[in-house]
Structure 1
Amino acid sequence: GINHDHIGAEPPRAVVSIFLGASLFILLTTLLVVRRITRPLETLSRGVQRLGQGTHSLPLPEDGPRELADLARKFNQLSSEIERLLENRTTLLGGISHDLRTPLARLRIAAELLRGREDDDLLDSMQQDMEEMDTLITRTLELARMMQQDGQQDKETDLAVLVAEIGAARTEAGRQLHIEAASSCKAVINKLVLRRILNNLLDNAFHYAGEKPVGLHLHCSGSKAQICVLDQGAGIPDDQLGRVLQPFYRLDPSRNRGTGGSGLGLAIVQQLAQLQGWKITLNNRKAGGLSACVEIPRDQPGQQQS
């Protein structure tokens, strides 16, 4: 009953053959897996080296194992943020050098005209130019500081109370401000940063609204809070809504301080919001004017919902 093919079989040789075959298979498989893992790491290493040398790094492919794909995605985000910061720095320095030339030129002309005589009008003009330069430098330094994290810790804050405090200060200053807010809306935020953002938005709104009233509205939901500043000015062309958030960009090409400001108010708002993980949106209102909103997440760990 035994098959003749089984006669003369050598179990030790068969075991050795199986062991060698399995070892070869495991070795080849291991080499393929290691190669698949090390190739993205080599690409990431070259990207980090280029980034350290200040060379623009092309986006890394976000493929391969899940952990390496997540790492490549984070690296691409970091590279984009660094590139954007460098662009902002270049724009900042270029804007300073450009905007300081005009008052400096006026001061040179006034100094030449003042040789050998006194002119109160020229002295007043020179004083105004110097104040303009001081304001520009102050706002620029403020923007530079805002590009770094603020040292104040995030704390649970009632946004309705904060909005009421800001509104009361504006009303006492003689401004027409209409406030709409929920009874309570708590969120874990950096209170100082949000106050700066809202004050900058209100300054911008009152500047363009003239004598017309401005609205400050707080909308609160379970996952987010939204604070909007509504004015009744001329609004912003739709194709420039994103560009006005860039440093030194102004709608008025004449660069007149009386009509265009310094071009830093909304840029500071954008930088502060990005550092906190908030979102700034600008939209033209159907009734006329601009709606500037800051969206704040409320579903942060350990946060109590109201």
Structure 2
Amino acid sequence: MSIFTKLFLLFLVSLSLMLFVSRETNQLTQAKIEMLLKEKYLQASTELFRDLANDDQASLTKRLQSFNFELIAESQSVLEGSQTIYEKSSSFGEVKILMDTKGRYLLLLSYLDESLLVRDITQEEGFYHFDRVSYLIFADIFVLIITFLMVIKLIFPLKQIALTLQKFGEGALHVRMKRFGSNELGKLSNTFNAMASNIEALILSRQRLLRDIGHELRTPLAKSKLALEMLGEGKYQQSLKKAISQIDELTKELLDIERLNANMEQLNLTRFNAETLISESLSRALIEDESLVELHIDEPFEIKGDLNYLSIALKNLIDNALKYTTQKPILIEVKERTISVKSRGEALKHALEYYCEPFAQGDDTRGAEGFGLGLSIVKKIVQKHGFKLSLTCKEGWNSFSIRLFS
């Protein structure tokens, strides 16, 4: 779940709670005002009925003042549209508590043919506080909305920052962040742009250096091979050939690792089947004796990936298996979207990560040819494709497997 989604959900929850609290507060306040006025009106109605029965206008006026009641003249027009809140009949007459169209509470007393409509003028103060609380709640909701919009405005650049970081991590070293002003995000973008420029310069410089070194090394190596062929059979010719081939192989593997480390080499993704990958890998391994490899294909499947790089990875696993097996042939097994290269021997003593480190070799392979770079290259190629490399050792077999997800 993205940060924006989380904030939006949090905002909706907060807004819903605020609206709920506002509605509940309004209802409670309204109910409290209504209860207090009802109690006051009922208490006053008994004494007001007495004055009406005695037809004592002076006492009635004085009593209305003592209760802070205001006499309402045009009673018929006021009564139209009013809602009855409470109604009771007694020996003195009829008592009604009404709410007019403006939300004010009125007391209506009916005695014989006379009627008296009054209103408590102090309820205005209660309504004033009630309205003020409502305004404060709505102001709080407004501030919440403004805060949410400001936060969204602040985090919106994070999407662009994440996209830029992703592109840079995928090898697009030229990408830079746009500037976001002078706040913290602006400082972040400036710092990243400076860092990215330095990293780009360092990687390109190292890449040019290694490319030049590789090019310069291949020329004397080719001349050395030619000179050795022109020389007659000698005591040290085979040793020199072997040493030159190892230097050539080491140079190639180091350049392959550098390209994969720098993440500059983009994959050429195509679709091909597992048999094509195995065939390409075996041709790279230059295996003259087909009896050295036994192939079991239980479940053929299609792969989406870079055939060149994946064949290099599988070729390295085949080379390692042939190099370190104690009994030939080795076994290549294809099933459940997995290609496994199995060789006989004692169970390997270390975890897979140990053998995938550059120049790492097992204790029992010090006499074998190689530089310990093969599995490092395999791991980087597999990771670049998003596949999985695993190692299992059981029943006298050491198995390196590549799980090729669809």
TM-score by length of 2: 0.46
Residue type of the alignment partner of 2:387: W
- Per-residue CA deviations over 1:120-175 (Å, capped at 9, x if unaligned) read 76787666555443332221011112333644532221213433564578696114
**Is 2:338 the partner of 1:226?**
yes
- Per-residue CA deviations over 1:44-103 (Å, capped at 9, x if unaligned) read 88877777776xxxxxxxxxxxxxxxxxxxxxxxxxxx9xxx9xx9xxx9xxxxxxxxxx
- Residues of 2 paired with 1:146 and 1:152: CA distance? 10
Q: Are the equivalent residues in 2 in contact too, given 1:160–1:182 (CA < 8 A)? A: no
- Residues of 1 paired with 2:358 and 2:284: CA distance? 28
Query: Offset of 1:244 from its aligned partner?
Result: 0.7
- Per-residue CA deviations over 1:179-221 (Å, capped at 9, x if unaligned) read 111364123222222211111100010000155111101113x
- Residues of 1 paired with 2:242 and 2:274: CA distance? 39
Q: Which residue of 1 aligns with 2:251?
A: 137
Q: Which residue of 2 aligns with 1:177?
A: 293
User: Helix, strand or coil: the match of 1:216?
Assistant: strand
- Residues of 2 paired with 1:217 and 1:123: CA distance? 39
**Is 2:361 the partner of 1:250?**
yes
Distance 1:128 1:206, change over 3 A: closer
> What does 1:41-120 correspond to in 2, within 5 Å?
none
Where structure 2 has 5 or more consecutive residues not aligned to the other structure, the ranges are 1-96, 98-105, 108-118, 159-182, 211-233
Q: Which residue of 2 aligns with 1:269?
A: 378
User: Helix, strand or coil: the match of 1:259?
Assistant: coil
Query: Offset of 1:289 from its aligned partner?
Result: 3.2
Greater per-residue strand proportion: 2
Q: Which residue of 2 aligns with 1:59?
A: none
Q: Are the equivalent residues in 1 in contact too, given 2:282–2:315 (CA < 8 A)? A: no
- Residues of 2 paired with 1:263 and 1:36: CA distance? 52
Using the TM superposition, name which of 166-175 and 34-43 deviates more.
Answer: 34-43
Aligned-residue Cα RMSD (Å) equals 4.4
- Per-residue CA deviations over 1:14-51 (Å, capped at 9, x if unaligned) read 79736641343125434764687659969988877777
Give the one of 315, 328, 333 matched to 1:217: 333
Distance 1:31 1:250, change over 3 A: farther
Of structures 1 and 2, the larger Rg is shown by: 2
Identical aligned pairs, as a percentage?
21
User: Helix, strand or coil: the match of 1:242?
Assistant: helix
User: Helix, strand or coil: the match of 1:140?
Assistant: helix
Using the TM superposition, name which of 123-132 and 154-163 deviates more.
Answer: 123-132
User: Helix, strand or coil: the match of 1:9?
Assistant: helix
Q: Are the equivalent residues in 2 in contact too, given 1:241–1:282 (CA < 8 A)? A: yes
**Is 2:348 the partner of 1:236?**
yes
- Residues of 2 paired with 1:144 and 1:24: CA distance? 61
- Residues of 2 paired with 1:10 and 1:203: CA distance? 93
Q: Which residue of 2 aligns with 1:206?
A: 322
Distance 1:126 1:228, change over 3 A: closer
Q: Which residue of 2 aligns with 1:17?
A: 132
Distance 1:259 1:168, change over 3 A: closer
- Per-residue CA deviations over 1:205-247 (Å, capped at 9, x if unaligned) read 0000155111101113xxxx1100000133421x343211112
Residue type of the alignment partner of 1:25: D
Q: Are the equivalent residues in 2 in contact too, given 1:248–1:264 (CA < 8 A)? A: yes
Q: Are the equivalent residues in 2 in contact too, given 1:228–1:293 (CA < 8 A)? A: yes
Q: Which residue of 1 aligns with 2:274?
A: 159
- Residues of 2 paired with 1:124 and 1:174: CA distance? 22
- Residues of 1 paired with 2:347 and 2:282: CA distance? 22
TM-score by length of 1: 0.59
Give the one of 310, 314, 327 matched to 1:194: 310
Q: Are the equivalent residues in 2 in contact too, given 1:155–1:191 (CA < 8 A)? A: yes
Distance 1:44 1:140, change over 3 A: farther
Residue type of the alignment partner of 1:247: P
Where structure 1 has 5 or more consecutive residues not aligned to the other structure, the ranges are 55-81, 94-119, 299-306
Q: Are the equivalent residues in 1 in contact too, given 2:284–2:315 (CA < 8 A)? A: no
Distance 1:259 1:124, change over 3 A: closer
Q: Whose RCO is larger (CA < 8 A, sep 6+)? A: 1
Q: Which residue of 1 aligns with 2:401?
A: 293
- Residues of 2 paired with 1:155 and 1:16: CA distance? 70
Q: Number of aligned pairs? A: 231
- Residues of 2 paired with 1:47 and 1:260: CA distance? 49
